[in-house]
Amino acid sequence: MTDAATDPATELAELAAEIARHDRLYHDQDTPEIDDATYDALVRRNRALEAAHPELVRGDSPSLRVGAVPSGRLGKVAHAKAMMSLENAFSADEVREFVARVRRFLALDGDAPVTLTAEPKIDGLSCSLRYESGRLVQALTRGDGAVGEDVTGNVRTIGDIPEQLSGEVPAVFEVRGEVYMAKADFAALNARQVEAGGKLFANPRNAAAGSLRQLDAGVTRVRPLRFLAHGWGEVSDLPFETQAAVMRAIAAWGLPVSDMLREMAGADAALDHYAAIERQRADLPYDIDGVVYKVDRLDWQRRLGQVARAPRWAIAHKFPAERAQTTLNAIDIQVGRTGKLTPVARLEPVTVGGVVVTNATLHNADEIVRLGVQPGDRVVIQRAGDVIPQVVEGLYAGPERAAWPFPLTCPECGSAAEREPEEVDYRCTGGLICPAQRVERLIHFASRHAFDIRGLGLVRVEQFFHDGLVQSPADIFRLRERRDVLIARDRLADLSVDNLLEAIEAKRAVPLDRFLFALGIRHVGAVTAADLARRYRSARALGAMIHAAIRLRRSMAAVIGETERKFAIRREKALVAVVDTNGVGPEVADALIAFFAEPHNRTVVFDLLRQVAPTDVVHETRASRVSGKTVVFTGKLETLSRDEAKAQAEALGAKVAASVSKKTDLVVLGADAGSKAKKAAELGIETVDEAGWAVIVAEAG
């Protein structure tokens, strides 16, 4: 992923892909790459963007999904009834609001209480056990909620789960609950793994998931897994009226149910039980991360129904973070894959909630100023569950002092670190040479809208990078000199080596806009690259403009009394005038020139220019009805791909936008055009169908 473009639609697309990737790593592969706090921050960002731009909510939005599609070697089976997730509450007020929402939804009057069940939220993985005539016939993991993995054989090795239920069990009854590992068993398992030189598990949840989802049930058998029931799926018959009554029946049939499950009248009683469970938390034999409340009456549950990924009649009340004091020993800067600089606090080790903490995040430069912290200070840190610890308070009380100087160069590559006026994060500008960013940039470079080198995707770029074959874009074009090395590698067959080299050769001449876009300059997306290419037409003309802009940028200095922010804005304005291109505003101009002002980047670009020649833009855009206008395509086009339609519009001098707004001049409606068509009608914007568009293209001079 690149950070070249930041319009909300692009960001939502990137978030959808990024969150889906972490869902796969966490839920499917049991190997999360990021901690839960970082993950939760992505989810929150996504929600905030969706709330601000409801029209941009994607079909594959993370807010509409549960877990991840199983990809492993275990058999996949569709759930008879979807398995859902839970909404979260983080405070007593949010719990009261949940109950108030239930009352409003059901239009309950008076103050008759809403009875809730309350029970611990166990940190394990969801499993659905299907009993037919009381016999266990199938066990499935949650998967993506619609399709789970068949773990029947594995589940049969778990002592808590009976083969045969006793008593009057409905003909079909799916018990749902949590497979988990007790804390002591987890510690013992990891100790055994150390001795055997095996893989260590990060936490009990991870160990439980890894142990249950084994191809060989023999492995599962020797892993100490447990089970607690907390609900049900498909049932042939449910002769009960409340959640609590069903849970009592499940217990009577022989399955474990939490002994802390209670029925409570109203939010306040439930909150008391929450406090009681929290007091016992540390002494419980298993990890819990909150308390789950459910509306007790089943007829009300049915009326309340569900939203996209969770029922309306239940909520998980998460435990708050835990805090401790310690000494801040040092502040280090970490560089992310997109060049973001994150300050990390190195701490005197301290135990918080049973875990030894040595690092905590400080988020960004502003946060350091806000906390007023410096190395040597006492600080308060906080962690919640598996969440990354953070510094939440500085305890320095001495005389006033200057803020800790945030480094203005990237610790990985020495390039300048810059921050835009409206942004909190500093970023490394050495995109093409910074080791922290290079793999991402190379993937972007070869991707479809950039150089479009077939066969050079993520996997190969990563291999080539780690093998030292490709460190910069120009190296890609030197691969032909390394044909022997490529062939000698066991991972590539001759034919595919030659196909790849051919695909690379074909790109020695590439349109100027693609060349520019491929550099992955912040804010220079495909559209901006095309604008610039059309304006300057040749790499030489573009280079001359950039050269002039860099000189101007160097010669500008802040005037007395001017803040950093004001100066940055004044500088951006001046650069916009030099760049002088429709569609290029201050942010883009600044990013573009900052990129080329960095000597390392210029070296990489010149090196690349020895290998490839960007082709000049020769075609004038044709005069047409839509020249200078903004066009939006929506729905499914029959005769054109989206890319081709966009190219046509651009060739006619039009600008293509992703969403309909007051600035839109024309909306082209494909089949099944949905909300955008409606919006166009509301705003009174001209629309044409695909045939109408073809006429406009044909008419153009």
Ligand X SMILES: NC(=O)c1ccc[n+]([C@@H]2O[C@H](COP(=O)([O-])OP(=O)(O)OC[C@H]3O[C@@H](n4cnc5c(N)ncnc54)[C@H](O)[C@@H]3O)[C@@H](O)[C@H]2O)c1
Question: 2, 14, 32, 225: which one contacts ligand X (CB under 6 A)?
Answer: 32
Taking CB under 6 A as the binding criterion, the range among 25-33, 191-199, 405-413, 691-699 that sits at the site for ligand X is 25-33
Residue type at position 596: F
Minimal distance, residue 154 CB to ligand X, in Å: 17
Indicate whether 26 belongs to the interface with ligand X (CB under 6 A): yes
413 annotated to bind ligand:
yes
Indicate whether 230 belongs to the interface with ligand X (CB under 6 A): yes
38 annotated to bind ligand:
yes
Catalytic residue at 676? no
Question: 434, 443, 474, 685: which one contacts Zn ion (CB under 5 A)?
Answer: 434
Identify the CA nearest to 460 among candidates 507, 496, 502. 496
Dist. CA 294–CA 274, nearest whole Å: 13
Dist. CA 480–CA 498, nearest whole Å: 9
Select 67 or 339, whichever has its Cβ closest to Zn ion.
339
Q: Which of residues 96-125 bind ligand X (CB under 6 A)?
A: 119, 121-122
Phi, psi (deg, nearest 5) at residue 400: -60, 145
Pairing between β-strand 686-689 and β-strand 666-669 as defined by DSSP bridges: parallel
Query: What does the DSSP 8-state code read for residue 25?
Result: I
Task: Please list, in sequence order, all residues whose beta carbon lies within 8 angstroms of the beta carbon of residue 148, skipping any fewer than 6 positions away.
Answer: 70, 76, 77, 79, 83, 128, 140, 141, 142
Indicate whether 430 belongs to the interface with Zn ion (CB under 5 A): yes
Q: Which of residues 601-630 bind ligand X (CB under 6 A)?
A: none
Dist. CA 363–CA 405, nearest whole Å: 15
Taking CB under 5 A as the binding criterion, the range among 85-93, 209-217, 225-233, 434-442 that sits at the site for Zn ion is 434-442
Q: Among ligand X, Zn ion, none, what binds residue 277 when CB lies within 5 to 8 Å by partner kind?
A: none
Question: 39, 319, 404, 517: which one contacts ligand X (CB under 6 A)?
Answer: 39
> Torsion angle, CA of 380/385/387/389, rounded to 10 degrees?
20
Indicate whether 296 belongs to the interface with ligand X (CB under 6 A): no
Indicate whether 315 belongs to the interface with ligand X (CB under 6 A): no
Select 415 or 630, whichever has its Cβ closest to Zn ion.
415
From the number of C-beta atoms within 10 Å of its C-beta (0-12, 13-18, 19+), residue 402 rates as exposed
Identify the CA nearest to 517 among candidates 17, 1, 9, 5. 5
Indicate whether 383 belongs to the interface with ligand X (CB under 6 A): no
Select 275 or 548, whichever has its Cβ closest to ligand X.
275
Q: Among Zn ion, ligand X, none, what binds residue 430 when CB lies within 5 to 8 Å by partner kind?
A: Zn ion
Angle in degrees, 0-180, between the axes of helices 586-597 and 599-609, rounded to the nearest 10: 80
Minimal distance, residue 604 CB to Zn ion, in Å: 13
Q: Which two tokens stand for residue 104?
A: 């409003």
Question: CB–CB of 473/461 below 8 Å?
Answer: no
Q: How many residues bind ligand X (CB under 6 A)?
A: 23
Indicate whether 292 belongs to the interface with ligand X (CB under 6 A): yes
Question: CB–CB of 419/365 below 8 Å?
Answer: yes
Indicate whether 428 belongs to the interface with Zn ion (CB under 5 A): yes
Q: Among ligand X, Zn ion, none, what binds residue 121 when CB lies within 5 to 8 Å by partner kind?
A: ligand X
Indicate whether 668 belongs to the interface with ligand X (CB under 6 A): no
Indicate whether 160 belongs to the interface with ligand X (CB under 6 A): no
Dist. CA 458–CA 618, nearest whole Å: 33
Q: Among Zn ion, ligand X, none, what binds residue 412 when CB lies within 5 to 8 Å by partner kind?
A: Zn ion
Question: 85, 193, 374, 615: which one contacts ligand X (CB under 6 A)?
Answer: 85
318 annotated to bind ligand:
yes
Query: What does the DSSP 8-state code read for residue 282?
Result: G
Q: Among Zn ion, ligand X, none, what binds residue 413 when CB lies within 5 to 8 Å by partner kind?
A: Zn ion
Select 341 or 518, whichever has its Cβ closest to Zn ion.
341
Phi, psi (deg, nearest 5) at residue 161: -105, 110
37 annotated to bind ligand:
yes
145: left (phi over 0), alpha (psi -120 to 50) or beta: left
Minimal distance, residue 436 CB to ligand X, in Å: 20
Residue type at position 354: G
Indicate whether 3 belongs to the interface with Zn ion (CB under 5 A): no
Indicate whether 174 belongs to the interface with ligand X (CB under 6 A): no
Question: 16, 86, 249, 365: which one contacts ligand X (CB under 6 A)?
Answer: 86
Q: Which of residues 521-560 bind ligand X (CB under 6 A)?
A: none
Q: Among Zn ion, ligand X, none, what binds residue 22 when CB lies within 5 to 8 Å by partner kind?
A: ligand X
Question: CB–CB of 350/325 below 8 Å?
Answer: yes
Q: Please compute Rg for the chain using Cα positions.
A: 29
493: left (phi over 0), alpha (psi -120 to 50) or beta: beta
Select 91 or 639, whichever has its Cβ closest to ligand X.
91
Residue type at position 321: A
Q: Choose the catalytic residue: 121, 646, 676, 679.
A: 121
Query: What does the DSSP 8-state code read for residue 558?
Result: P
Buried residues in 325-349 as b, exposed as e (16+ CB within 10 A): ebebeebebebeebbbbbbbbebee
Q: Which two tokens stand for residue 465?
A: 């990078």
Indicate whether 441 belongs to the interface with ligand X (CB under 6 A): no
Select 339 or 385, whichever has its Cβ closest to ligand X.
385
Q: Which of residues 386-415 bind Zn ion (CB under 5 A)?
A: 410, 412-413, 415
Minimal distance, residue 336 CB to Zn ion, in Å: 10
Q: Which two tokens stand for residue 351?
A: 């135990």
Question: CB–CB of 676/667 below 8 Å?
Answer: yes
Pairing between β-strand 135-141 and β-strand 125-132 as defined by DSSP bridges: antiparallel
Minimal distance, residue 32 CB to ligand X, in Å: 4
Binding residues for Zn ion (CB under 5 A): 410, 412-413, 415, 428, 430, 434
Annotated binding site: 36-40, 85-86, 119, 142, 178, 294, 318, 410, 413, 434
Feature table: binding site for NAD(+)? 36-40, 85-86, 119, 142, 178, 294, 318
Contacting residues toward ligand X, per CB under 6 A? 22-23, 25-26, 32, 34-36, 39-40, 66, 85-86, 119, 121-122, 126, 142, 178, 230-231, 292, 316
Catalytic residue positions, numbered: 121
